[in-house]
């Protein structure tokens, strides 16, 4: 199973592609990882367009069976939520164009799937990602680690047949 994981953000969007063994323990292989960067000085359409293009390119290159995104929770940050929505919209359109189903997982689901408890610190989750992918060190920056964690989380829930499209 190939999964594209996305940590949505308008300034830094984490994008990670993993291939997971279909049976046995959750062993995975890193196929691709990057952080798509945009600047607040750029016009919105350029920022959104670049994110759409990079996600679409990854979808076409790796042909994932699923795209998984991190659900975002904003409590008093309306402007940030609005702009992250731009990035998420670009991701959803790219997935639609490629015919790839989209799944969403909240931070607690990611921590539960990878660390075994919903209150794991980010560092613990990053170490679990490192171990599952057989990397020498935890992926950096955090946006990339989060994208890979989201992809691995989808693989975990898909094995339990508990994954539901967004």
Active-site residue, from 52, 71, 119, 143: 143
Region of poorest pLDDT, from 9-13, 47-51, 114-118: 114-118
At the top level of CATH, the class of 2-159 is alpha beta
Percent of the chain with pLDDT over 70: 88
Catalytic option among 7, 52, 146, 154 = 7
Single out the residue of 161, 156, 160 nearest to residue 68, CA to CA. Answer: 156
Please identify which of the residues 52, 70, 146, 154 carries the catalytic annotation. 70
117 given a catalytic annotation: no
Q: What is the pLDDT of residue 78?
A: 67
Binding residue ranges for Mg(2+): 7, 70, 143
Distance between CA atoms of residues 134 and 97, nearest Å: 32
- What sign has the CA pseudo-torsion 48, 54, 84, 164? positive
Quick check: 32 pLDDT over 60? Answer: yes
Residue 23 pLDDT exceeds 60? yes
User: Do 21 and 134 contact (CB within 8 A), yes or no?
Assistant: no
Judged against a pLDDT cut of 70, whether residue 131 lies above it is answered with yes
pTM: 0.91
Q: Which residues are part of a known binding site?
A: 7, 70, 143
The pLDDT confidence band at residue 117, using thresholds 50, 70 and 90, is confident
97 is a catalytic site residue: no
* 75 has a pLDDT exceeding 70: no
146 is catalytic: no
């Amino acid at each position: 199973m190939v999964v594209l994981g996305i940590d949505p953000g308008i300034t830094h969007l984490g994008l990670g592609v993993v291939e997971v063994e279909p049976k046995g323990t959750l062993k995975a292989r890193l196929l691709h990882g990057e952080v798509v960067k945009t600047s607040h000085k750029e016009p919105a359409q350029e920022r959104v367009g670049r994110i759409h293009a990079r996600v679409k390119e990854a979808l076409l290159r790796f042909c994932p069976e699923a795209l998984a995104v991190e659900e975002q929770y904003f409590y008093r940050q309306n402007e940030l939520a609005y702009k992250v929505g731009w990035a998420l919209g670009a991701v959803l359109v790219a997935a639609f164009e490629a015919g790839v189903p989209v799944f969403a997982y909240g931070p607690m689901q990611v921590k539960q799937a990878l660390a075994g408890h919903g209150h794991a610190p980010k560092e613990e989750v990053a170490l679990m990602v490192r171990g599952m992918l057989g990397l020498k060190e935890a992926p950096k920056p955090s946006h990339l680690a989060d994208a890979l964690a989201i992809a691995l989380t989808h693989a975990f829930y898909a094995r339990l047949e508990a994954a539901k499209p967004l």
